[in-house]
Structure 1
């Protein structure tokens, strides 16, 4: 944790036209992985257009690592079925965070990331200023499946820098 750059809050908003894996629907949930970290959303029962609005937080030590996303159908009596996967790069987002921007009007677009063969974006993704923070909205097209997209938002959380004062047993935050 010494190399911790900060925290990345990922809000998994919703799935759109996800693949059917049960008789006529699915019970989807999302798994996010970055390096050794693995987080997952709650299961939404019988819905191929689920609204999760779940917030997951990753500790970022290396901004060059891709974030991998997979959607699964929860099954009770067998292994969960994969409903598709995607991955995305946070380098453009981190470049915007590292600009050190302050006091921009809400909704100011800092930069845009266009869909390409190198990413899973279904449409243009905007990195914007929102209520004093850099945020990114994205819609990912799922791979290895017949259909489906996942909409999510990124938000960076800076951590206060801590130092141990000499001759003291207490830890103080510094800015």
Structure 2
């Protein structure tokens, strides 16, 4: 009889890594002059072009990490936001949340929510999905208006918790081998 423990000992994880998914997302908000309640910061949301007719396809910009072995999750989210939205957002290596997602639509995995910074209103109004970039639409909404789009409960909760973390100035710095990940001067 083989047990789960036996399988773990016998499995060569380098030859056959465990199947999982790692998402990297950016919480990007917009500085409109009329926002007076911190909980109502307008959030940049994207509709994923992959099966957009399926429910719950709205969420934070970003995507899956792991395509390029040398790329950190922080590098991935910056690259994906620029490639898919055509903007250079002030994303920092501060992780506002790490969300475990059990297997459902996709393989089980972790979602890293990075602080995507605050965009000036004029810049935010220019955000559009880059053709072929993976997004079908972009909206900028405060959490109280999330009901206007088809966002799933988990994504909405993830965003609310990340906003609360940012307001409390709490977060975890992303490191690599114990060293802080630096932001190139051209992107700071």
Q: With structure 1 as the length reference, what TM-score do the two structures score?
A: 0.25
Q: With structure 2 as the length reference, what TM-score do the two structures score?
A: 0.24
Question: Higher strand share goes to which structure?
Answer: 1
Question: Higher helix share goes to which structure?
Answer: 2
Q: Which has the higher contact order (CA 8 A, sep 6+)?
A: 2
